[in-house]
Amino acid sequence: MPVSADDVTLSVRLAVDALGAAGDGWDRQAGEVTWTCWETAEHVADDLFFYATQIARTPPPEPGEAPFTMTARRDGGPVNAVSAVPESGPAGLLAVVDACGALLAAAVRAAPPDARGHHVFGLADAEGFAAMGVVEVLVHTSDIAAGLGVPWQPPADLCARVLTRLFPDVEVTGDPWRTLLWATGRAELPGRPRRTRWRWHSAPIASG
C-alpha cells in the first residue's frame, strides 16, 4: 500500500502521545544527534511544515525552496522557519508538531497526482512527501525518546512501507523498524556495516 496522509496523521499522533508522557529533560541531548530533545522536536515540526509547503505550491514547481525566513536559536542548533514558544512548555511544543503534521496531511490529501515539489534529493510527489514526513517523525521521535528515557516502537507495517517507498535499494529484514534505523544511520544490522552516509529516494518510484 502507498504511504498516505493517514500515515502522516498516525505517526504524529503516536509520537505526540509517546513524548507527552515524558516529564522534564527536554534540554538533554536527543540520542546521538547534536541537538537537544526540544530542538529536535522543533526540527520535526519544521520538516513537516516544509514538506507541506512544497507539495502545496502551484505547479510547475519552482526550483529551490520557498523563501521562508530561517533562523537558529543558537549556534549549532537547527535552522528552522517554525519554532515553539519556550514558555509554552512541552505541551506547546508538541502542539506545534501536531499542527504541522496536520498541515502536511492536508496538503498530501489535496495534491493532484501530477503534483511535484522541491527536495534536495529530487522532485517528490505527494506520497514521497508523506513518506519523508513519516520517516522524520519516526526516527527523530526515537532520538528524542532516547534522550527523555521513554519507550518508542512504531508500527512495523508503517516502517516497512516507508522503507519500500524511500529506500528501494534496502532489503527489509524481519524487523522493519530496526531496518529503518539502520537505513538512516542509527543502528547496526547483522552483516551490514553501520551507515555513516545515507539518502533516500524522494522522486516517484518508476512503475512497470
Instruction: Read off the pLDDT of each residue in 55-62 and give the average, rounded to a whole number.
Output: 74
Backbone angles phi, psi at 22, to 5 degrees: -80, 155
60-84 residue pLDDT tens: 666 677 788 999 999 999 999 999 9
Helix (H, G, I), strand (E, B) or coil at 32: coil
The structural domain count of the chain equals 1
Q: Classify residue 195: in a domain, yes or no.
A: no
Evaluate whether residue 189 is within a structural domain.
no
pLDDT in tens, 5-25: 999 999 999 999 999 999 889
At 29 the pLDDT is 97
Within-domain flag for 207: no
Is 160 inside any structural domain?
yes
Determine the pLDDT at residue 3. Answer: 96
Give the 3-state secondary structure of residue 129.
helix
In 3D space, the residue among 133, 131, 154, 130 whose CA is nearest the CA of residue 15 turns out to be 154
Residue corresponding to grid cell 504511504: 3
For the ranges 20-34, 49-63, 107-121, 153-167, the lowest mean pLDDT is seen at 49-63
102 assigned to some structural domain: yes
The parent domain of residue 129 ranges over 5-183
Q: Are 208 and 129 in contact (CB under 8 A)?
A: no
Grid cell of 16 as nine digits? 505526540
> What confidence tier does 54 reach under pLDDT thresholds 50, 70, 90?
very high
**Has residue 68 been placed in a domain?**
yes
How is the chain split among helix, strand and coil, in percent rounded to 5? 50, 5, 45
Q: Could you give the angle at which helices 156-166 and 176-183 cross, rounded to 10 degrees?
A: 40
What's 101's domain CATH number?
A: 1.20.120
**Residues 173, 121: Cα–Cα separation, whole Å:** 25
Residue 86 lies in a domain: yes
pLDDT at 60: 62
Cell numbers for 123, please give them. Answer: 522532485
Q: How many CA atoms lie within 13 A of 69 on its CB side?
A: 3
Q: What is the pLDDT of residue 192?
A: 87
In a domain? residue 199: no
- Residue 94, pLDDT > 70, answer yes
Is the predicted pLDDT of residue 123 greater than 70, yes or no? yes
